[in-house]
Each structure stands twice: as structure tokens, then as C-alpha cells.
Structure 1
Amino acid sequence: MTLPRRQPVVLQPAPAGRHEAKYVVTDEVANLIRDFAFPWVLPDEHVRGPRSSYVIRSVYLDSPDYRLYRSTIDGLAQRYKLRIRRYAGGSNYFLEVKRKDRDLILKSRRELPAKNLAEVVAWLGQAPLDDSDFVERTNRIIAEPVLDIAYERQAFVGAYHLGTRLTFDRDLRYAAVDDLEEPDDGKEWKSTGIDGVVVELKFFRGMPGWMQEIVRRFGLKRVSFSKYCLSVQARRRESPLPLR
């Protein structure tokens, strides 16, 4: 189904801390969910092309002993991830800290103009510790780039509820970070092996009624899902990593 074009919206500041519910569904069900939600959503600011999709690239950082990976695998109630995010067609990088405090997700972000990942890492090595939460946490655990993770995202924001988002992630893949100046087309991308589309419902306070109806109507079963952990595990099947 080709959706009518509507103007994308630029995200506005929203209350701190949100909830995320994740589900893995078939491509057919994902399209049905998208069509059902259409009256309540608008495409987000990064949309590209008629499918309202765009590619997200995130380089994840971790300590030499993969402390951040292990904190998720061990199910710690309070944990965080460090990533350097960029969007297809964009010229800037975004330094992000994604924290989880029990059921609450909190993010901080710093935008950084740079030509490539090497420039970002060089800047991190010289940045004052009080520059940002990202810099402080990176230095605290001596974090370095570990994996480059990419996927295609369809994303929509709530037309009537501030801060709500509905996303569909496909073609999840990863590549080792061996050369900070290596161009994207030179990387050896590998599939994580996930079979399906990752659907995320993101909201503040309570889940809106239309999202509740999506869960009920399509019989969605919530899953615990980490793109970073899934990619690390896929890589471990190829070569040993110093996890313990």
C-alpha cells in the first residue's frame, strides 16, 4: 500500500524519560500495523523516499572487557549504552548516551560536526571531561568503538500525543570497526540473523489508546531486545571476544 504523503514533523522537546515496548513481527504484520496507525501519526523529520524510511548508523562503544554489553545480558536495572549515531545523507554525528533506569528510558545527545569517525574519536581524546555526559562516561570506562550497526527505519511520531513514536526497523546488520577512516561501502556488513521486523512503541507516562489497540488487535507479545547485544552475539559466533 502506498501511503498518502504528509508533511514530516520536526521533533520538539518532550518530557524526560519515556517507555519503550518492543515486538518482533513479520513484514506483513508490520505493514498492517503501519496502515492501522496512519490516522494517529505523522512521518518524522528524517524521512527519505516514498517508503518514509531512512538508514540509521550507530557505532557502539564499550570498555575493553565489554562492560556495557554484560550489564544488559546480566539484566542490571540501571545501565547505559554509548553510541555515535549518524543518518544517511547527514553530515553531522550525534554522541548519545541511552540510559535505562528500570522501565524508564532516558537519552542525552550532543551534536558534533565531523567528516568521519576518525575525527569524532580524535575529538573525544581531546574533549574536556565536563563537555558532556557522553565524554565523561566514555572516559570513565575507557570505552572505544566496537561495532558499527545499521538498519533501515520507518518512523512516525504521534499527531496528538507529545513524544509518542512508532518505529519499524528492518535489515539489521553489523560490521567490525577496524579502520576509523574506512568508507561505508568498504565495510564487510553481516546480518544479525534476526527474522522479522522490530516494532517499537515509544511513549511517555501511559500508553495511548491507539497503541494499546495495536497490541490487542495484532496479538503482539513484548520481547526484550537489544540491537547491540544481538550484534555482539552474532560476532562472537565468528571470533572470540574478551567478554569474561
Structure 2
Amino acid sequence: MGLMATLPPVIERYELKYVVPRWLVDPISEFLAPYCELDGHSASEADYFYPVNSLYFDTPCYRFLQLRQWGADQRFNMRVRAYGDGTEGPFFAEIKFKSATSIKKFRATLHGAEWPEIIQSGSAASNLSCVDPRERVSRDLFLQLAESYAIEPKIFTCYRRRAYISQMDDYARVTFDINMRYRPQDPLYSTHPYSLCPDEGSCINYDAATIYNDELQYGDNVVLELKATIGAVPVWMIELIRRFELKQIGFSKYLNSSLTEHLENGWTYMPPDRIVA
């Protein structure tokens, strides 16, 4: 999992999201071949999809989620991410600020022994000499916001990702996300609110993306993301959009999983074909 640790602690970028059918994954991957290669995680998997696990935090009254629902131009979310089975570090504390069309992402590495005590106590960072100086700003900002907003775990999401990185640009990525699932982890109801370990028996699918958007076709359940440095979107990325006639759409994993849980009441109203046994 070393590749993820090498990502810069602060990234400013555009993120363009599309929801496409599964059959488009291979043709788009073939298009990318002259420009990109699989990242280290994808290259190590037989089907090129690797597991991503994220725990989203919010204020007790869901302030972050409300801003996302209202479409506020200035908003952010906070999460901790893990790869693989989610039982071991490193973990990654992340803040994503959205301002109009751009994203600024802060990312700091948390070692296995720090999690989840660093969130619960808020003081661990200052006692660790092993913190990468480049990440200290991101780490301190995460802890400051955690304390200021009294954040708590709200929902766990997991999915499988195929990721490509550009070999021609300073920073450009293309990702496909499939098998999106969630589990509510509010500390009022969850026995393990800080867990980053997916449990097949307790996670619910929410990748039927037609739930909240009538413009999508049935089967459009792969989230495609194009990520590029602000002011430096590659020409090949623009050509990809044109060739496959991609239509940009908003898709927030935190928002969609939360809507599924709170509006459909999770297990109670979930159609049987979207429940993972």
C-alpha cells in the first residue's frame, strides 16, 4: 500500500464525475492505455479493482451533509480511509474542501497504533516525532476541525476501485468505482463506530445510481471520476469525454449512502437485489 502514502498531503484539482454502465469500463480502459498505467494497487489485483474503505464524520446534527444537500458552493467533508481489509494501518485522515468547481484535498497518514485514539483524544499528533513534516499541516487541520465541529462517525462506505495514473502529466487520474456499499456507524447505535473493516453481512449496496436521478439508465452503476490539476486538464481527457459522450453528474458517496439509509431506512425498505447477504 506504499503508493497511497506517496500522494502529496495537499492536492488542488478538478474532479469530474460520471455514472456509466459496467460494459464501458473495458473500452475506456483501452482508450487510456497510451496515456496512463494502472496504479500500484490496481496492478496487484486480478481484476484490477482494489478495496477502498472510508469512514465519514459529521457534526452531531449532520451539518456537513446538510450543506451537501443544499449544494453550497463552499463546503467540506471529513473522512478516514483505509485499503485492503481495513484492519491495519496506514490509515489516511482526509478533508475535502469544495469551492465552486474545484477541490482542495488535505491528507495525512495515521499509523495503526494511532487509530482511533487520535480522533478520540485529539492530542496524539503533537506527541509523535514520526509525523512527516509535509503532512503536519494536514494532520493539525484535521484535528482542529474535528474538535471545533465535535465530529463523530456517521457512515462507513466501501467499494472496489480501478485507478489509472497519467504517464504524461504531472497529475491526472482516472478511477472506476464499483460495488458501492455502506453501513451506518453512528456511535449512538453502532457497537464499533470507528471500524474501517467491511463486513459482508452488515453492508448494504447503494450502487443502483438511478435511486436519486431519473436521467440515468438502469445499469448505470459505475462511478467514473476524472481528476486533474486545476488549469491543466489533459487534452486526452477532453477527448475521452467527447468520444464516449460522457455527461457529467454529481455523485457523492457520503450523500447517496446517507440518503439510502435515512430515506429508505436501510434494511427495512431496501429492494432484495441490493442487499448483500
TM superposition score category, shorter chain reference: 0.7 to 0.9
Alignment of 1:76-225 (within 5 A): 76-88=72-84, 91-114=89-112, 120-128=115-123, 132-177=140-185, 178-180=190-192, 184-185=198-199, 188-192=202-206, 193-194=208-209, 195-204=220-229, 205-225=231-251
The aligned residue for residue 5 of structure 1 is: none
The aligned residue for residue 269 of structure 2 is: none
User: 1:32 and 2:46 equivalent?
Assistant: no
Whole-Å Cα distance in 2 between the matches of residues 52 and 127 of structure 1? 37
SS of structure 2 residue aligned to 1:18: strand
Per the alignment, do residues 169 and 210 of structure 1 end up closer, same or farther by CA in structure 2, a change over 3 Å counting? same
Contact 1:10 1:45 in 2 (8 A): no
Amino acid corresponding to residue 188 of structure 1 in structure 2: S
The aligned residue for residue 135 of structure 2 is: none
The aligned residue for residue 273 of structure 2 is: none
Q: TM-score w.r.t. structure 2 length?
A: 0.76
**How many residue pairs were aligned?**
230
Q: Which runs of 5+ in 1 are unaligned?
A: 1-7
Q: TM-score w.r.t. structure 1 length?
A: 0.86
Percent identity over paired residues: 30
- In structure 2, which of residues 46, 66, 73 is the aligned counterpart of residue 70 of structure 1? 66
Amino acid corresponding to residue 210 of structure 1 in structure 2: W
Amino acid corresponding to residue 225 of structure 2 in structure 1: E
- Report deviation, 1:16: 4.0
Amino acid corresponding to residue 161 of structure 2 in structure 1: R
Whole-Å Cα distance in 2 between the matches of residues 126 and 42 of structure 1? 40
Q: Which runs of 5+ in 2 are unaligned?
A: 127-138, 210-219, 267-277
Higher helix share: 2
The aligned residue for residue 214 of structure 2 is: none
The aligned residue for residue 4 of structure 1 is: none
| Cα-Cα RMSD | 2.4
Per the alignment, do residues 226 and 184 of structure 1 end up closer, same or farther by CA in structure 2, a change over 3 Å counting? closer
Contact 2:9 2:106 in 1 (8 A): no
